[in-house]
Structures are given as structure tokens and as C-alpha cells.
Structure 1
Amino acid sequence: MAGLHRIIVGLDFGTTYSALAWASSNLPGQINLIGNWPSAGILTHHSAPSEIAYHQGSTTDFSWGYDIPRTVRRLKWFKLLLESNDDHVQSGMPLPPGMTAMDVTRDFLSALYQHAISTLWRQNGQAVMSMTRVDFVLTVPAVWSDTAKQRTREAAVAAGMSNDHNLSLLSEPEAAAIYTIKNQDANAINVHDRIVVCDAGGGTVDLISYTVLSIEPLKVTECAVGTGDFCGSTYIDRNFEVLLQQRMGHHYHSLRVETQQRIVKNFEEVKCAFRDKPDQNVYHVNVPTVNSIPEAGIYGGEFQLTREEMRRLFDPIVNQIMVLISGQIQSICKEGYHVNSVLLVGGFGESPATAVVKGAVLRGLEPSLPLQVSHVVRRSRRHYGTPMSTLFIPGRHSERDAYTDPITGRRMARNQVSWFLNKGDPITDDRRITRNFCRSFKKYSGPWVDSMVACDLDRPPSRVTRDVKHICNITADLSSVSKSSYEKKWRNWRRYYVARYNLDLTILSGEMKFELIFRGASYGSISVDFDL
């Protein structure tokens, strides 16, 4: 069964909307969007709202997407909680008692997973599906921290996406770029062109710049370090909520939560239609259950906004995006090159939101497309390394880090960092970076734990500082290794052992992998425990 036939499902888990698509290894050129969403009588589209509503008193029974009744309180934007610990973000998205953002994400992803699987069985039939392996490619914002990506992966695993499936993560702008570049009009993009891809979604805006090496097959390399920020279209909604509360005063807090949510939903329609035209000076947002509050600018059940007020809702967010785009262009120009085009993708830019999910499917199909492999060379967005101790060198190391190793008697410097990968370094999916380390011990008392750190500065420090952030621990169990495998040394007539081993680092599009190698073998089930 395995390997005979594959179906790749792409899942774009967005802040405001999510989408599913699939393709078969037999027909790789035909990408099918999954629709037919469960609906409470609402017209559905190619994507479903990333919203969930738990039934009263329950943390297991819920409605989701279009299937949530209008009058029910719903959770939205919870994707941002996987990354942000900001109090304002947390307070704006209250979770059910006893539940975490990962719990809510797990439940929402499980609903998408079950909808995808049931759709595939219905459309392909039992005969095909019984001999087919289904794999999932889940997209994540490139601007996210490694911790947030790991949280997303764990939620997807808990949702069932690794049950007899391969699950891989892919950055959203890379997925969008793969699809968009491959589907440009003839001669719109040429070999050697430099392109800035701006993926502007609901919660995050990600930018990656590429040099096109080949069109068929598509091969690109990053020509600037990717950037991004939390400045998607939902932040315009939040600006509106602040304005609404300011204008309504105590009247706002007398509204039911469902009514407050409905007003923001109504504003989204006005937001999407806003064109900043000089001939339209007033915009109207429907306010259910309220007739008139003149001091708040509400007349006949409509909240009135001037054109200037609408611009003030948009401007801070749009300006933030423009700064990000300018930064990417300047980075390329500093290298003596020019930018040929800027591709704007994502719902905020009114580009088809399906670019990300279709790009995820194309990336997942690569093993089945030997003649059309989308080969991407990325650049690291931060420095990665591991803390270590090294021989103390006067003048190079600080006395505060000095200590004497009780086993070897050598003077050492603790809190130093061995950097595996530097910010801006090119990385490919098949690249493995190796660093050599050694441990001295009298008796193995394992397991061994090595920690991994990251730094966002342009130049990383040589020792651990406040700018060096802990990412995760690598745990390796070498209890099965014979003592004869280690080097034997003596000090003061007492024997001790030295183990020389490697730490390997592989960074994929949306995930990273650490591995401990001793004498050519990978040891234990090395767990990557992110510092959540």
C-alpha cells in the first residue's frame, strides 16, 4: 500500500480564514480545493473562518467555521496566541476555563482534519483510499518563533495529522511564492529576476525575497533574510474596536458580547470595500440592537465613520507593511542588485487566498514530480547554536566565566556559545550542519542534555547574554554504549572517560531538527523539548 499512491493535503491554518486543498500523485497537475464546509445556513467559500464555539459548559463539544450560529459567542484569532504572550492579545481572546491556545488549536485542526479525510473518501471512494497514503503539509508564518512552530506541530499531531500520515511544516510565504511564481503569465518572471514576496494575511505579514535560478523546474534562492511582523488585517479590526469603545463609552459595555462580535463582523465588510475614494466621505457599520446614540455617532442603527477615521484605522498597519517591504528592497540594493517585482499575496492584499494552500500541495508533491521540483534555498532568519564550556584563554574569556573542571583539572570558560548557523546563511532542506563536542565523566549517569539557543542580533555574542534565547533541550540516552567505546584518560591515578560526539542541525522550511551522533550512530529517541 505505502508508496503506491499518495494524496497530499495542504492546510493553510490562517488567523481569520483557513483553507484545504489536495492533489494525487497520479494527477499532480490537478489541485483540488476542499469546500463543502459544514454550514449553519450560511453561504460558504473556498476557505472557512478560523473560528470555534464551545457548547455551553463543555470543552469537548463545539461548532466551527460556518457552522457557528450567529448568536453564539465564538473564539477567533486564537492562532496568534500560539506565538504571543502579550497581555493585550491574551485579553482580547479569552479562552474557555482550563483550556490553552494549543487545546483550542488542536480542536480546530481536528475539525479540518476530519473534514479533509471525509471529503477525500467521498470523492475518491473506498477502493482508491484503501490503497492510498495521505500526507499533510501545514503552513506556518515564517515570522513565528521556533516555539510557536513547535506548538503548531504538536497541536496538529494531537488532531490526528500524523496518524498513518507524514506531517510536514512549510512557511506561508514560501508556499505562496512557489504557487505564484509557477502560475505567472509567460515572461512575467524571468531567470535572474529578484522578487520580493509579501504574504499579507489576517494576523501576520511575512516577506521573503528570491532570485529566480530556473523556471522549469522552478529553482529559487533567497537573496535577503526574510522579515515579518504581526500587522495583518485583524489589527485594523482591533483599531476599529478601540474607536468603537471610545465613542460609545459606557453604552459599549452594556452590549452583549455576541452583539460586540457582530459589529466587528459588520465592520469587516466595510473594511474590505474601503477604497479611500474622495467622493465617499462617510461609511456606515450596522450596529444590531442599537437605534441611535448621537454622541457616539450612531444614527438609525448605523455607526458612522468619516473617510479620515477610516484612514486612521488603516494607516498604522499599512505603513508598517510598507516599512517591511522597503527594508527587503534596501537589503537587496545594498548587495548591488535591483528588485524586478513585488508579489503581494494573502487575503489582506486581496490576492487569492488559495495561493498558500496550493503551494503547500505543490511542495508536498515534490517526490512525485522529479521533472518539476520546486527547489528553494532559504536564508536563516537568526543565529542558532548551543552553550558550551571551552578551554579558558586569558584576554578572550571573562574571569566571571572561569572555573576548574573537577574531572580533568583544566581551567575552563563556561557560558560560551558554539554557533551552528549564522543569520543570513543559505540553508537547503538537505543541508546538515555538524559541530563537534566532548564530555568528560567518571561514570555515565545519563541521559545527556544539550540545550539549543538562538539570537536575532546581526552579530551574535560569543557567550550567553540576555539576547541569547533558550529554544529547546536535546535529550540523548547513551546507557547502552559500552565503556570501551569511550576514550580512557587518567588524572591523579584516577580513570575518567571522554566522549567525542557531534550535534547535527537540520532546518527545514517550517521546522528544525537536532540530532546527537556518537561514533556514526544516532542515539536514543532524541526529544526536542521546546521551552514553552
Structure 2
Amino acid sequence: MAWAPEGSYITTVSGFPSRFSFKHDKEKAPTALVYQENGQSPFWGYDIPPHEIPLKWVKLLLLDDEDLPEHVRNSNHVKSAESRLKESNKHPVEVIGDYMREFWKHGYKDIARSVGKSRIDTSRFELVVTLPAIWPSYVRMRLRKAIEMAGLLDARLTGETTLSFISGLEAATLAIMHDFVDRADFKKNDQFVVCDAGGGTVDIISYKVMREKPPKIRESIQGDGKLCGAVFLDEGFLRLLKSKMPSDIQDKIGASDIQWIINQFWENGMKPQFNGDNEPFVVPMPYGGKIENQVRSPALEFNRHELSNIYKPVVAEVAALVCSQIREVIKAHRKPPKYVLLVGGFSKSTVLYDSLQKAVDEVSQKTEILQARGEKPWTAVCRGAVIKGVAKREPNLSVVEAHVARASYGTTYNGETLWDDEPICHTFWQDLENPTDTIEIELVYSTSHNPPDRCDASVKRLCMIRWSKVPAFDSLPTWENKKQEVFRHICYEVKMVTDGASLDFQIFYEGNMVAAKNVDVDFTDSGTAYRP
């Protein structure tokens, strides 16, 4: 989470409640929580008791099963999250809302300490929320519901809190452009790739530099992404741990102590420190138990070859994404990208950097990989979200001027460039037999590379738009069909404006905007196969 008073320096929230002193000053907290049986506020983030098994990776459960790859759907993390949800009798939206409520309480206090409670209490809020670029449209509405349940949009005396969404990938790009603009050699017409490697997803996209200073960029080819983030390293370590642990110790310690080992020695030791050439890591067991040929307190050793085998399949998937994107840039623009910029928590990995550089060299020796140090790669997404919010009032901060459409929305067009704040407009018409208070327009979309002329399995429902400000029935022109039936005919335009992650709709009738606030966009069943 990051924030900034309008036109001011961006600050990242820190000082999260923690049971471990070395985590107190971190600038991000894990999306994890444990419900208390007494009904008190849940434990969350770093404040979860070490032997508790937290609810984690619930964000993945915002996706419908058919949108989760089989290996993800069957992973231990997802199965564990589903099991804990069932025990808690909670829906994923509720859990995320509960987590956001606790996170927001801390963030509010942290901001108040910096600017004063009186100022924050009299300020209007604008929230910019990030979500993975590869997630379907319906997830945004589920996430909005969680935000509402968390109370982030509750009425305040200072006025309405506004909410918008941005893809995490674009947010990261905004931040790293500001981080690297004075250090990297960006020239007009240069191409570069951004790889956002996080815990669950890895998103990737390419941009073209349109202007150097202040920077202005444009998406150059369609991005890509995959569920192949750092969580799959955790899966690999869990399998290795259980394979090395004697059965008598496994029987004694149970799931909660295995979780403690993972938190203490993997999350906070091996994973951030492993570079592919380390000496063996030693992990003491929490309970006694005889390990063959060991007289001292029982412990397990993990050598670099075993840990490298955990990284290899995950890193290979990320490398395949990056190299594929580079090939697409070369194919489209006849020259390789100048840089690959790494952001996200997983991107801090030395193993990932070294492996990517080797893989990229085989595709283009003119492409360099840039990996910022410190916390900047980790906080790029939240800092970029703030930049996006501030840019709405300070146009000179706006960096990304256009996007490549990732779907065809109710038309036969594909790959159209979507300009920020410039709408895509199409004409619709309907015949009315009787007066009505609402007009409904159903929009569909297809992510197929060659979208079909007629509905097929690739076409899904995006949303239902309900227009409540309808012109007087008697004022509409009439027409008569071959059966001599008379209808009223209404012709209007639907304009769709995108900011890269969210879609806003406006209705125009006879050249005048007649509905914007009066447009109700229902995404309830979006993402399901379209049934005409």
C-alpha cells in the first residue's frame, strides 16, 4: 500500500504488526489471515501466531475453476485454501474483504501519523486498486464487492471515495519508468519489456518509447501472463521437506509445525538468500526424533542441487514467457527490445535473474535485463497505482498513452489500440413495442486471436448495461414491418473508455450524453460462456 497527498512525494506504508522484529519495517505484508474463535478481529500478515495455519492464496479463488490451470487447481496451496474456507464457512470475497479491513485500519493509522489525523479526516480519498493483467473481467467486480465489504467506500463527511482499477503490470511500469528514467538509456522508438513476477502470477508486456522526458510510452504488442509465480517454489519446497523428513517426526509435529518450518527457514531464509551456489542450509526440527547417524538435535540439510531443482521448472516457465515476448517484439518491429525490466517480489531472485539472462542471450544478445535493488521491485505495483491516481489531475505524470486490446468486445474487431480517455464508440439500436423504463444492452467478448463472426465457445458474457434514462416513448420514430406491426425505433451509441484495467460506459442519444451515472453495469455472470 502506498499513498501521496495530491502532488506530493509517494510514501509506502510500513510498520505492520509483527510477531517477528525483523519483519516490522517491511513495506508489504502477506495476504494471509487466521480467524479467531472468539469473534475478535482476525490475525493477519506478519502478526499470525507461528503455529497457526493461515488462509493464504484466497485471491486465486476469485477465479472460476475453468479459469484456473489444472496444476494450479490441484496444488497444495489452492486445496489448503479451499479446505480452510470451508472450515470458516466463508466465501473468498468475504475473506479478502476481512483482510482489506484490517490492512486499511493499519494503513489509515500509518498515514495519520505522517500527515496528522485532522488532515486525513478532512481529506477526500481516491483509491486505485491493482489486479493481475491476465485475470478475467468478472474478477474486478468480485474485488469491488470485497472492497465495499471492507468499508473502504463507506460514506465520509468529506465526500465520496472514488475507486478505479489498474493492472498490476501497468502500475509497475509507471513506477519503474520513474525509477529508471535517469539511469537507463531510454530513447525515442526504443522497445522494452516489463516482467512482473509475483507470488501467484507472472505478467509480461512490451512498450515503445514515444517521448523521452517526461516519459511517454505506448503498448507495442499484446502482453501475456501465466500462473507461475513464487508460490510454486513454495510447493516444491514443501514436497522436498516432506521427502526428507523421517515419518516419526512428521507424525509428531503435524501440519502447523511444518508451516512454522516453512515460515522460519524457507520464507525468511533459504528463498530470499538462495543464489544457486550456497552452502547447505540447516533446518532444526521443532521436536525430538531420531535421524539416522545423528547424535545432536535432529536437523535436515538442504544442498544447492536440491534447491536448484525446485527453481528450475518455475524459472523455465518465466523464461519461456519472456523469450516469447521478445520474439514477438522482433517479429512486429524488426528489432529486439533494449531492456527487460524486472519487478515484483519474485523478480528479486538472483536465480531468476541469472537464468533469464542466459535464456534471453539465446534470443537477443542486444537485450539487457535490469533488476532494481532494495525494496523498489517489491513496491513498484503499489507506488505505480499512486502515480496513476495523481496523473488524473496532473497530466504530465501520465506515462502510458495507449493499450493494445486483449479482447474483442461485442464486435468482430481484434487488436484495436485503446487510447487512454479516448472512447471506443459503436452504434446500437432497438425496437420497442411498449414504453419502458430501462433499456438493456448485453456486451460479449472474445479473447480468440481471430474472433468469430458468430457466437462460439470462445465468446463469453462481459456485462449487462442497463440504461435508465430512456427518451419518451411517443417521441421515438416509428417503423412498420412486413406483418404491418408498428414499432418505435431507438438508436444510440455506447462509448467504452478504458484505463488499462477497468471499463467505463457512457450512453449517447442524438449526439448528447444522456446517461453515465444512470448506467448500471452488471458483471454478475460475466466470464461464463455466452448463450445467445
Q: Is 2:407–2:447's contact at 8 Å kept on the other side of the alignment?
A: yes
Q: Is 1:209–1:226's contact at 8 Å kept on the other side of the alignment?
A: yes
Aligned match of 1:494 in 485, 491, 498? Answer: 485
Residue 330 (structure 1) shift? 0.8
- Is 1:324 the counterpart of 2:305? The answer is no
In 1, the alpha carbon distance for the partners of 2:234 and 2:296 equals 21
Residue 509 (structure 1) shift? 2.2
Residue 465 (structure 1) shift? 0.6
- Aligned residues: CA RMSD: 2.6
SS in 1 for 2:401: strand
Query: CA 1:333 to 1:244, structure 2 compared with 1: closer, same or farther past 3 Å?
Result: same
- Is 1:75 the counterpart of 2:55? The answer is yes
> What are the residue-to-residue correspondences of 1:499-510 with 2, within 5 Å?
499-510=490-501
> What are the residue-to-residue correspondences of 1:28-39 with 2, within 5 Å?
28=8, 30-39=9-18
Aligned match of 2:239 in 238, 242, 259? Answer: 242
Q: 1:48 — aligned with what?
A: 29
Instruction: Map Cα deviations across residues 446-505 of structure 1 (whole Å, 9 max, x no partner).
Output: 643332222222111111111112232222335x53112322122444322222222322
SS in 2 for 1:48: coil
In 1, the alpha carbon distance for the partners of 2:295 and 2:262 equals 15
Q: Is 1:217–1:373's contact at 8 Å kept on the other side of the alignment?
A: no
- Is 1:176 the counterpart of 2:176? The answer is no
> What are the residue-to-residue correspondences of 1:324-363 with 2, within 5 Å?
324-335=321-332, 336-350=334-348, 351=372, 352=376, 353-363=378-388
In 2, the alpha carbon distance for the partners of 1:444 and 1:129 equals 48
In 2, the alpha carbon distance for the partners of 1:444 and 1:191 equals 56
In 1, the alpha carbon distance for the partners of 2:401 and 2:297 equals 55
Residue 129 (structure 1) shift? 2.9
Residue 443 (structure 1) shift? 1.8
Q: Is 2:390–2:397's contact at 8 Å kept on the other side of the alignment?
A: no
The amino acid of 1:34's aligned partner reads V
In 1, the alpha carbon distance for the partners of 2:444 and 2:150 equals 29
For normalisation by structure 1, the TM-score amounts to 0.82
Instruction: Map Cα deviations across residues 302-324 of structure 1 (whole Å, 9 max, x no partner).
Output: 33334332222111110100011
Residue 370 (structure 1) shift? 4.2
Residue 106 (structure 1) shift? 0.6
Instruction: Map Cα deviations across residues 357-412 of structure 1 (whole Å, 9 max, x no partner).
Output: 21221221114434443243211222222xxxxxxxxxxxxxxxxxxxxxxxxxxx
- Is 1:157 the counterpart of 2:148? The answer is yes
In proportion to residue count, which structure has more helix? 2
Residue 187 (structure 1) shift? 5.0
In 1, the alpha carbon distance for the partners of 2:295 and 2:31 equals 30
Q: 1:216 — aligned with what?
A: 213
The amino acid of 2:270's aligned partner reads V
In proportion to residue count, which structure has more strand? 1
In 2, the alpha carbon distance for the partners of 1:254 and 1:100 equals 32
Q: Percent identity?
A: 27
In 1, the alpha carbon distance for the partners of 2:295 and 2:443 equals 55
Q: Is 1:270–1:284's contact at 8 Å kept on the other side of the alignment?
A: no
Q: 1:226 — aligned with what?
A: 223
SS in 1 for 2:421: coil
Residue 293 (structure 1) shift? 4.8
Instruction: Map Cα deviations across residues 148-205 of structure 1 (whole Å, 9 max, x no partner).
Output: 2222222123223333322221111211111212222445322222110111111111
In 2, the alpha carbon distance for the partners of 1:248 and 1:311 equals 19
Give ranges in structure 2 of 5+ residues lacking alignment.
Answer: 155-159, 349-371, 527-532
Instruction: Map Cα deviations across residues 70-111 of structure 1 (whole Å, 9 max, x no partner).
Output: 122311222222235244254131314321111111111112
SS in 2 for 1:360: helix
Q: 1:276 — aligned with what?
A: 276
Query: CA 1:242 to 1:453, structure 2 compared with 1: closer, same or farther past 3 Å?
Result: farther
Query: CA 1:518 to 1:370, structure 2 compared with 1: closer, same or farther past 3 Å?
Result: closer
Q: Is 1:298–1:304's contact at 8 Å kept on the other side of the alignment?
A: no
In 2, the alpha carbon distance for the partners of 1:531 and 1:302 equals 51
Give ranges in structure 1 of 5+ residues lacking alignment.
Answer: 1-19, 386-417
The amino acid of 1:507's aligned partner reads T
Q: Is 1:202–1:232's contact at 8 Å kept on the other side of the alignment?
A: yes
Q: 2:157 — aligned with what?
A: none
The count of residues paired between Structure 1 and Structure 2 equals: 472
Query: CA 1:257 to 1:349, structure 2 compared with 1: closer, same or farther past 3 Å?
Result: same
SS in 1 for 2:479: strand
